[in-house]
Structure 1
Amino acid sequence: MKLQDILTLDCTICAAPGASKKRILEYLSRLAADKLDSHDTFQLLESLVKRERMGSTGIGNGIAIPHGRLNNATPTKPIAVVITTEQAINFDAIDHRPVDIFIALFVPEEQCQSHLSTLQSIAKIFREKQFCKQVRKCKSNQELFQLIQQAS
């Protein structure tokens, strides 16, 4: 599944305030919780934190892809949240650089295999330096959403 298939405008935020790794993870979780009847912000945050304990999802070049699993999820499809921050924050990324582009993914437990292909599609899109420059220049949620929808 591609990012464009699961991302919605209301889960796309441009230039969000971000002070810390914890606050960003909370914000990502809160946005996703608004889309789910079966999970609250705390449960989603817990799934992201659990994954971060295994190793940072900061993949380098100012990008992080935090992701977590959903038990008994309704709806039964993955949910993506994309946020850019006004200022980059320390996220323990593999290249030790701060992060300002966050692509969170919440996947139902039974869809772990499609989860891997979705992560690959996200990494492929954001591997392009020119695309990341365009993402960082976006001035509105709508502009960011449309840019991602047009990515190949």
Structure 2
Amino acid sequence: MQINAQGINLIKQFEGLRLSAYQDSVGIWTIGYGHTGDEVHAGMVITAAQAAQLLLQDLSHFETGVSELVSVPLNSNQFSALVSFSYNVGLEDLGASTLLRLLNEQNYVGAAQQFPCWDHAGNQVLPGLLRRRMAEQALFLQAV
């Protein structure tokens, strides 16, 4: 599966586009639409086209990861919400989450209820993260 347009727009909305590298709320160097990696460093600058390309490369990794972790059928919106979620928190955290455990037990409603629990970064509640989790939850629950 691939992330749908709603999922991409959700990521773009919450990540924002930054063409100069910056440190996120927990000190990780980030650029573009939330791209991180060893190559991102202070003073790095990219173009909007490069940011779009990095996003597509990153999404491919997260699409594969979500596909490997989830063992139950998903519709396009559910898959896209999970790609957005894992893009933000990481595939390892998704893999160890109650959200994934409930989902793989076919408890779709219980899984959806877990999204708002992921509103912390650096041991702090971040209102922006809660807004993102609520948007991901809404997309997950939205019929296709």
The structure whose Rg is larger is: 2
**Larger RCO (CA under 8 A, 6+ residues apart):** 1
TM-score, with length taken from structure 1: 0.35
Q: Larger % of strand: which?
A: 1
TM-score, with length taken from structure 2: 0.37
Q: Larger % of helix: which?
A: 2
